[in-house]
Structure 1
Amino acid sequence: MTTRLGLSLPQMKQYSIGRDIPEVARAAEATGYESLWVFERILFPEPATQGLYGIPGLPWPDQYRSVADPLVSLTLAASATSRARLGTSVLVAPLHVPFQLARSLASLDAASGGRVVAGLGTGWSHDEYAAASVAPFERRGQVLDELIDVCRAVWGPDPVAYEGELTTIAPSEVGPKPAGPLPILLPANSPKAMRRLVDRADGWMPVSMGTEALAREFAGLRALAEERGRTAPLQSVLRANTQYTREAYTGDDRAPFQGSVDQIVEDLAAHAEVGVEEILIDLQGSARDARELTDLATEVYEKARAAGV
């Protein structure tokens, strides 16, 4: 089975979002990419109180100084395309009021003809939580659980009713409804997160970690699904965070998806062999502008397909 390929949209500071997002979306769909993706960063602390991903001393990329709103970005892409799925990788759940986010996702899905994929996570930035969260960082898991509950309720049949810690919905009609089943995908970075994924989500959204680790975690997730009696198949979308270099990377410490186009394609082929259904390729941080991003994305796609990915 051919692995589906998706592309991250240009949200970072070097792009003109109103012009570049529709143009890149149209070009990616025409090239053959089957999905288009956005991520969420809401601020750039100066100075940062913690490193990137919470890793002490790891600097935030300069492009994070300005990242376009994910749902605005997907709306621009939706209006410029007709087939590509529209995904979030990921929305930081506690930075959103659950009911409002559920309605926004439903409206976008209805407007796009059922193309939305909701990748949700809990985030890691204490600065973002301090600025915008609906609950403290320590309650991030509970907020994600409630957001999933609210989405399922709002997207389901009327009358909608729900009562939780953050959300109370009196019996109401809530529309528009999604055009079709709107999948929820989650990362799984801990045993508790894995159980939440197996019990409550439609699929898994891992980040590039190397083939051995990916295969090990995928096998663990499948075993847990069997243990907990899950019968529905798990969708899977791997996020490939690339570090493109114009020349081949020659160091012994090459990370997955680091290096030239040929090296990135080599890694795509290896990770596809693990059995993920789809790989989201994030190239936007490596390109200087939308033209370079489009050319790079086209080259990666064509060489990946030629290599059998």
Structure 2
Amino acid sequence: MATRLGLGLPQNKQYDIGRDVPDVARAAEEMGYESLWVYERALFPLASSQGLYGIEGLPWPEGYRGVAEPLVTLTLAAAATHRARLGTSVLVAPLHMPFQLAKALATLDAAAGGRVVAGLGTGWSLDEYAAAAVRPFEERGKALDEVIDVCRAVWGADPVSYEGTLTKISSAAVAPKPARPIPILLAATNKRAQRRLVDKADGWLPVGLGADRIAAQWRELQDLAAERGRATPLQTVLRANASYSAKAYDGADRAPFQGDVDQIVADLVAHAAVGLDEILIDLQTSTRDAEELKDVAAALITTARAAGV
């Protein structure tokens, strides 16, 4: 069976959110993309000692200077489409109050007819945690656990009851309910996070850093699932952060998903061979506007399908 393909929606500062998100979403669905995705970047610190991903000295990309709020972006896409699933890869769950987030996701899923995929992570930005003022950065794992548990409770049958650190629900009716159980996928990058994924989530959201690395991580995760007695298979959606250029990249240091359409598709072929369910292609950092994003997305899906992806 062919690997499903999804497309990242235009959230970055060079796009007109109200115009470009519905336009790209509608066009992507017509092209055959089966899902549409957003990510979360809450702010862009102008003076921070912390680099990108918490790595000292690594600058934040300029594209992060104004990223549209993910659930508002997905709502715009939902209103413009009919079939494509609507996913977050990833939403930094501990930046949100658990109950409000659970209710927002349920409402969006009910409105969209059961198309939401909740991809969650703990994040890495100290500045974002300080601005959100929900839980300290040091409690991010516990905060994610509570978000997952509250979502499961709120999305389940009434009466809803829950007793947590932030959230206390005493026998309440909570509606609307999702149109179907919303899958929760996690971006697990360490042993503790992998155990949480296997025990509490529906699937995995890796980042495409090379097919061999992904294959090794996938084997490790499957082994852990077997070790912990997980009965249901894990869903998998790979995030491919593409760096598109009109001309082929001819350097020996080419990163995965960097270069022209043929080079990006070659990487899609290699990563699809790992056996993951779906690959999300995010082009927005390397396209100048929505028209170029649509043109490249169309060329990619046509070439990828011809290559057997």
Normalization by structure 1: what TM-score? 0.99
Which residue number in structure 2 is paired with residue 214 of structure 1?
214
- Within 2, Cα distance between the matches of 1:254 and 1:113? 41
- Within 2, Cα distance between the matches of 1:14 and 1:235? 32
Which ranges in structure 1 are unaligned for 5 or more consecutive residues?
A: none
- Within 1, Cα distance between the matches of 2:169 and 2:78? 29
- Within 1, Cα distance between the matches of 2:128 and 2:210? 29
Q: For 2:239, what is the secondary structure of its paired residue?
A: strand
Which residue number in structure 2 is paired with residue 226 of structure 1?
226
- Within 1, Cα distance between the matches of 2:245 and 2:126? 32
- Within 2, Cα distance between the matches of 1:242 and 1:47? 28
Q: Give the residue type in structure 2 aligned to 1:179.
A: A
Which residue number in structure 1 is paired with residue 87 of structure 2?
87
Per-residue CA distance 1:279-308 (angstroms, 9 max, x = gap): 000001111111011101111111001100
- Within 2, Cα distance between the matches of 1:112 and 1:49? 41
Q: For 1:286, what is the secondary structure of its paired residue?
A: coil
- Within 2, Cα distance between the matches of 1:17 and 1:48? 27
- Within 2, Cα distance between the matches of 1:176 and 1:145? 23
Contact residue 49 and residue 127 of structure 1 kept, 8 A = no
- Within 1, Cα distance between the matches of 2:59 and 2:280? 24
- Within 1, Cα distance between the matches of 2:73 and 2:133? 21
Q: Give the residue type in structure 1 aligned to 2:273.
A: E
Which residue number in structure 1 is paired with residue 282 of structure 2?
282
Which residue number in structure 1 is paired with residue 30 of structure 2?
30
Q: Give the residue type in structure 2 aligned to 1:26.
A: R
Which residue number in structure 1 is paired with residue 13 of structure 2?
13
* 1:179 and 2:172 aligned: no
* 1:52 and 2:52 aligned: yes
- Within 2, Cα distance between the matches of 1:19 and 1:266? 32
Q: For 2:114, what is the secondary structure of its paired residue?
A: coil
Per-residue CA distance 1:203-245 (angstroms, 9 max, x = gap): 0000111111101000010011111000001000000011112
**4+ aligned runs moved over 3 Å, structure 1:** none
Which residue number in structure 2 is paired with residue 71 of structure 1?
71
- Within 2, Cα distance between the matches of 1:148 and 1:84? 24
Task: Give runs of aligned pairs for residues 139-288 of structure 1, distance below 5 A.
Answer: 139-288=139-288
Displacement of 1:133: 3.7
Q: Give the residue type in structure 1 aligned to 2:257.
A: F
Contact residue 94 and residue 133 of structure 1 kept, 8 A = no
Worse-superposed segment, 131-140 or 155-164: 131-140
Taking only the aligned residue pairs, the percentage that are identical comes to 70
RMSD: 0.6
Normalization by structure 2: what TM-score? 0.99
Q: Give the residue type in structure 1 aligned to 2:11.
A: Q
Q: Give the residue type in structure 1 aligned to 2:127.
A: D
Displacement of 1:110: 0.2
Q: Give the residue type in structure 2 aligned to 1:117.
A: V
Displacement of 1:184: 0.1
* 1:40 and 2:35 aligned: no
Displacement of 1:63: 1.3
- Within 2, Cα distance between the matches of 1:295 and 1:37? 18
Q: Give the residue type in structure 2 aligned to 1:56.
A: E
Displacement of 1:19: 0.3
Q: Give the residue type in structure 1 aligned to 2:295.
A: D
Displacement of 1:187: 1.1
Per-residue CA distance 1:166-211 (angstroms, 9 max, x = gap): 1101110000000011000001111000000000000000011111
Contact residue 49 and residue 56 of structure 2 kept, 8 A = no
Contact residue 37 and residue 89 of structure 2 kept, 8 A = yes
Which ranges in structure 2 are unaligned for 5 or more consecutive residues?
A: none
- Within 1, Cα distance between the matches of 2:121 and 2:296? 28
In 2 relative to 1, CA 239–133 (structure 1 residues): closer, same or farther, beyond 3 Å? farther
* 1:116 and 2:86 aligned: no
Displacement of 1:58: 1.4
Displacement of 1:246: 1.5
- Within 1, Cα distance between the matches of 2:20 and 2:99? 30
- Within 2, Cα distance between the matches of 1:193 and 1:152? 18
- Within 1, Cα distance between the matches of 2:153 and 2:54? 33
Q: Give the residue type in structure 2 aligned to 1:142.
A: K
Displacement of 1:260: 0.9
Per-residue CA distance 1:16-66 (angstroms, 9 max, x = gap): 000000000000000000000000011110023211111121111111111
- Within 2, Cα distance between the matches of 1:49 and 1:58? 10
